[in-house]
Amino acid sequence: MKKKKVKQLPLIVFSLFLLAIIISGCSSYYRVVDPTTDKVYYTTEVNELRGGAVKLKDAKTQRTVTVTNSEVEKISEKEYKQGLASDKTPDIRQNKSKDIPQTEEKQDESKGGITK
- Whether residue 41 is contained in a domain is answered as yes
Pairing of strands 64-67, 54-57: antiparallel
- Whether residue 50 is contained in a domain is answered as yes
pLDDT of residue 44: 95
Phi and psi at 67, nearest 5°, equal: -115, 120
Does residue 77 register a pLDDT over 60?
A: yes
Question: Model's pTM, two decimal places?
Answer: 0.56
In the chain, the number of structural domains is 1
Does residue 32 register a pLDDT over 50?
A: yes
- Whether residue 81 is contained in a domain is answered as yes
- Looking at the chain, the whole-number percentage of residues with pLDDT higher than 90 is 47
- Whether residue 67 is contained in a domain is answered as yes
- Whether residue 107 is contained in a domain is answered as no
- Whether residue 6 is contained in a domain is answered as no
Mean pLDDT of the chain: 75
Structural domain including 71 reads: 27-86
- Whether residue 54 is contained in a domain is answered as yes
pLDDT of residue 74: 95
